[in-house]
Amino acid sequence: MSVTLDLDEQALATLPFGPGERERHMQIEMACRFYASGWLTLGMGARMAKLDQYAFGVQLAERNIPRHYSHEDLDADLRHAGGQ
């Protein structure tokens, strides 16, 4: 799917990105913000950003966005690692 945004050209011109970089940066930024809002899981955020989960995690860390990881997630991961 593709989304078209109507953004102010003067505002875009102030961004420190070239034309090809702006779109890519916005794609990653939106995925990070949607993840931070709780609208996307880590996996879905990575897919939206077109990154693997590790690289998406790096992008989250660069923006000081904490990972959503509960005690229940930890318990499930420990059970899975232990073969249970």
Tokens matching residue 71: 């005690």
Q: Are 28 and 51 in contact (CB under 8 A)?
A: yes
Q: Give the list of residues 6+ apart from residue 43 with CB closer than 8 angstroms, or none.
A: 53
Q: Give the list of residues 6+ apart from residue 46 with CB closer than 8 angstroms, or none.
A: 31, 52, 53, 55, 56
Please write the tens of the pLDDT for every residue from 25-72.
999 999 999 999 999 999 999 999 999 999 999 999 999 999 988 888
pTM of the model: 0.77
pLDDT over 90 at 19, yes or no: no
Amino acid code (one letter) for 35: Y
Single out the residue of 55, 54, 68, 67 nearest to residue 24, CA to CA.
Answer: 55
Q: Would you list the domain boundaries of the chain?
A: 15-81
